[in-house]
Amino acid sequence: MRLKICGMNHNPIEVAKLQPDYLGFIFWEPSSRYFSGEMPELPSSIQKVGVFVDAPLDEVIQKVEQYQLNAVQLHGKESADYCQKLKKSFLSFRAQSRNQKESQENKVSTALDLTKLEIIKVFSIKDDFDFDLLKDYEEVCDYFLFDTKGKLPGGNGYAFDWSVLQNYPSNKPYFLSGGIGLDSKEKLQEFLNSPASKNCFAIDVNSKFERAPGLKNIEDLKIFIESLESGRN
């Protein structure tokens, strides 16, 4: 089970020492966890995820290039067509920029890493969910992420009813998010040991592990990671 810690801002280097699989950086300006400035140097084992909400394609591409992101998380009403255009735009942009820098004999080898950008599409759940909405996204996204429907696109601090995922019809791996904290440990282990978690790829945490928006509580994260490790089957 992978771990993603989202809403990084004030202490990403400290958090990175805990060796999560993903760190999420929010590029939606209204967020209190909005990230700007220089990206700290992080271990290559940690995947950097840029979180966007209905952003123009060129803005997403620019952030991917600027911060060397490994994945983008789409937290708005982005369509499947948008996801497909994003993937194609990234490939085209990366190929063009690299071809300008490299000699003719090296062009072929650069094509090997043009598909590394992963797309995570978020779907928000309250009481129930129409899983038919996922069909159009199956071929254009690498992962789904299920979060709690609330006033904000994310970081609302409370969980949805995970039993909804018993009806998950896809084989696409997904991230579980929404109000997961230390008080969720027993409930989370119960879920992870249930058939509903068959395709659960990663746990995504954010606001429940903060001293302030974007400032993560390292000690609480350590406790949570230990519990996650000890509860794995």
DSSP helix, strand, coil percent of the chain (3-state; round to 5): 40, 20, 40
Comparing 100 with 43, the larger pLDDT belongs to 43
- Mean pLDDT for the chain? 87
CA-based nearest residue to 154, from 83, 74, 212: 74
Percent of the chain with pLDDT over 90: 74
Predicted local confidence at residue 143, as pLDDT: 98
Q: What is the pLDDT of residues 165-185, one digit of tens each?
A: 999 999 999 999 998 999 999
Say whether 20 sits in a helix, a strand or coil. Answer: coil
Percent of the chain with pLDDT over 70: 85
Sign of the CA dihedral with 7 first, then 11, 12, and 18 last: negative
| 195 and 165 Cβ atoms separated by less than 8 Å | no
Q: What is the pLDDT of residues 108-134, one digit of tens each?
A: 333 334 457 899 999 999 878 999 999
Say whether 218 sits in a helix, a strand or coil. Answer: helix
Domains of the chain are 2-230 (3.20.20.70)
Mean pLDDT score, 38-51:
95
Predicted local confidence at residue 113, as pLDDT: 47
Query: How many other CB atoms sit within 10 Å of the CB of residue 192?
Result: 18
Q: What is the pTM of this model?
A: 0.88
Task: Check whether 202 has a pLDDT greater than 50.
Answer: yes
